[in-house]
Structure 1
C-alpha cells in the first residue's frame, strides 16, 4: 500500500503535521491555538476581512484553470525552456534518486508545503503578531495575483511531461497524484513555481518572527522544497529562479504594507484614547 493512497490520506497527514508544527513552535495545545483563531474570526472584523480576502484569492487559482480551458490562446513555451536548460533537472533526479528521498520529498511537496502556510497563520495569530499575519495574507495574494497572468499567457509544461529522461517520481509514493492533486494546479502552470515563491515568502516572513524554532525551520524547509521541485521532476530551473524573485518581492511588499497598516491603526487608537480623556 502506498503512503498516500488518496487525497484524503494526504489531508490527514497535513492536519497531523500542522498540529506537530504548532506544538514544536509554541509548546502549547494546538486545539487551544485553533480556538484562538476561531475567536479572532468572530471578534475582529479586520482579521476576518483579511482571512476572507486570502481564501478568495486562493480560489482564483481554480478560476484561472477554467478561464484557460475557454481560451483560444494555445502558446507553449516548454520547448524554448528546454533548449536553454537541457538536462539540468534530469541530472539532479538521476544523481540523487533513491526510495527514501522520494518519500521525504513527496511528503514535503504535498504535506509540509501547505502545513507551513496554515501553521504560520495559527502561530502568528496565537502570538498576537498581527503584523506577520497580515503579511502572510498579502504575500499569498501577491504571489497568486502575479503568477496567474503568467499561467494564462506564458504556459510552460512540467518537466516530466516533456523531457524524455525525467520521471514524475511522486507517483511512486502518491499513485493517484494526477487524478487527486492535478485539479489544484494545471499541467502548464509551471512558470513561476508557486511552491518556490510561496515557500520563499513564508521564509522571509518567518525570519521576522519572535519564535526561534520557526525562523530557522521555515527557511530550511523552503530550501528543501525548492530541491523537491527538481528531484520529483516537476519544475524547470527557470521556474525556480522566477519563483524566488516573486517570493522575495511579494514578502517584502507584504511586510511593508502590514507595517503601514499597524502604524495607522495605532495612531487611530491613540487619537480615540485622547478624545476619551477629554
Structure 2
C-alpha cells in the first residue's frame, strides 16, 4: 500500500512542480508573477476550488457504485464499440511498440493529465482572471456530470482487457502501478475518455471566451497535449477511438451548458458576494432570515401556475427520481446462483465458486461468488472465443482452454477481477492443477499436447518437464501432484 501511494505522490508532486514551472511561459502578457498570488487565489476563489475538486470526491463514490452495478447487472457495451472499430487500436500498439514509449507514455498518461488539468484551473485564478475562471471551472464540472450516465449504464472495458493480443501497458508497467490502478480504476469507464474530454472542454472554453488572446499560448499547449494524449491512451491499451470521439462530444455539450449556466450560478456562488452576505447576516440576522424565507417562497410561488420551464423542471425531477430508484434497485440485488442458467463449467474451493456460461449469441461470461458474503463478481481478462474450463484451489483459480490459461486469486474487492498472469502454449491445454511449494508460492502443473510441465503461477517461470507423457488426468493437493493415465498393460 505504501509503495502504491508513493508512486501517486510522486505523480502529484511532479504535476504541481511542472505546472508552477510553466507559469512564466503561459502567463497573460499583462500579468506579473508574485508569491502573493498563490495566497490571494485561495481567498478569492475558494468556491471555484470546491466546484472543481468536488469532482474527485464524487469519482471515488461513483466508481464504487459502478463496480456494484457492473457486478449485479453485467452491463457491458464493449462489444458494440468493438463492432464499430474492430482491432484498429491493436494495430497502433503493435506498430510502434517500444520499451521507451511504454515507460514515457505511462507516466505521461497520469502525471501529464494531472499537470494539464491542474494548470488549466490554477492559472486563471492565480492571475485573477475571474471571467475565464468562472467558465473553465464550470466546464470541468459539467464534463464529469455529463459523463456519469455513460460510466454507470454504458460500461466499456479497456482495450487491453478485451482485444486478443492487446496489452494494458500502463496498468502492468510495474507492480506498484498495477496495484494502484487496481485500487482506483474499475476498468469499465472507457466511454467517454475524460483524458480527452476535460482538456478539450478547457480548450473550447478558452477559445470561446478568450476575446483578447491572452491565453493564446496556453491554448496551443492544450492542442498539443490533446493530440499526444489521444495517441497515448490508444497505445497503452486503455481507450478505444470511439472513446476519444465521445470525450470530445461530452466536452462540447459541457461548454454549451456552461454558456447557459455560468451567469446564474456565479451570481449565487461568487466569493465576493458571499463575503457581503455574511457581513450583512452578522449585522442584521433577523432581516437576513426574513429575506431568505421570502426568496424561498418566491422561488416556489410560480409553481401554482407552472409555465413551460417549470413543467420541464418537474418532468426532469420525476425522471431523476425514477432513475435513482431503478439504480438503487439494480445495485442492491444479489444474482442467485440459480440464475446461472447454462454453466458450461464450474468449480469451487473454500468459500468461493467460479462458473462459466455461454449465452445463446456465443458470448462467454465468467463470474465468481463468495458463499459467505453472498457477493458476486465478474471475472475479467481478454475475451474467450470458446468457454474455458476452470479449476480452483483455495483462493486461487485458473481458466484454461485451447492454448491459453489465466491465473487468478480471489480478494475482497468489488470490481472486475483481473488475471494476475496469462500464459500461451504451443499446443492445446488439456488439464491444469494448482499446487503450492513450502513457501506458499503457487505453481501450476499444465498438461499441454503430449507433455506435462510446471510453471510458477505469478511470473510464468517454467520448470522442468515431467516424465508423464501418457498421463490423461492430473490432480494436486498442496505441494503434491498426482498423475494418472492408461498404458498398454493397464492404468
The TM-score range, normalised by the shorter chain, is 0.7 to 0.9
Query: Does the CA-based 8 Å contact 2:136-2:206 persist in structure 1?
Result: no
Give the structure 1 partner of residue 198 of structure 2: 198
Q: Provide, for residues 146-196 of structure 1, a one-character-per-residue CA deviation record: whole Å limited to 9, x for no partner.
A: 111111111111000111121122257554223113433321011111111
Cα pair distance change 1:131/1:253, threshold 3 Å: farther
Given the alignment, which residue of 219, 244, 251 partners 1:247?
251
- CA deviation profile, 1:61-103 (whole Å, cap 9, x unmatched): 1111222233332211112322222111001111122233333
1:219-258 aligned within 5 A: 219-255=223-259, 257-258=261-262
Query: 1:15 is matched with which residue?
Result: 16
Q: Which residue of 2 aligns with 1:104?
A: 104
| Deviation of the 1:256 alpha carbon | 5.2
Report how far residue 118 of structure 1 moved. Answer: 1.1
- The 2-side partners of 1:228 and 1:110 are apart by 11
1:109-258 counterparts in 2 under 5 A?
A: 109-171=109-171, 173-207=173-207, 208=210, 210-255=214-259, 257-258=261-262
Deviating above 4 A after TM superposition, structure 1's stretches of 4 or more consecutive aligned residues are 27-31, 171-175, 259-265
Structure showing the higher strand proportion among its residues: 2
Contact kept, 8 Å, 1:135 with 1:257, in 2: the verdict is no
**Distance (Å, rounded) in 1 between the aligned partners of 2:32 and 2:266:** 28
2:54 alignment counterpart? 56
Shift of 1:233: 1.0
The corresponding residue for 1:40 is 41
Check the 8 A contact 2:143/2:251 in 1, yes or no: yes
Question: Tell me, what secondary structure is at the counterpart of 1:6?
Answer: helix
Q: How many angstroms apart in 1 are the aligned matches of 2:169 and 2:34?
A: 35
How many angstroms does 1:29 deviate by? 9.1
Separation in 1 of the partners of 2:37 and 2:225? 26
Distance 1:162 1:110, change over 3 A: same
Q: Deviations over 1:82-129 (max 9, x none)?
A: 222211100111112223333332233111111111112221113221
Distance 1:115 1:106 in 2: 14
TM-score normalised by length of structure 1: 0.81
Cα distance, 1:202 vs. partner?
Answer: 2.1
By how many angstroms is 1:31 displaced? 7.3
Point out where structure 2 has 5 or more consecutive residues left out of the alignment. 274-491
**RMSD between aligned residues:** 3.1
Distance 2:232 2:182 in 1: 17
- Count the aligned residue pairs: 261
TM-score, normalised relative to structure 2: 0.48
Match of 1:276 in 2: none
- Kept in 1, the 8 Å contact 2:92–2:235? The answer is yes
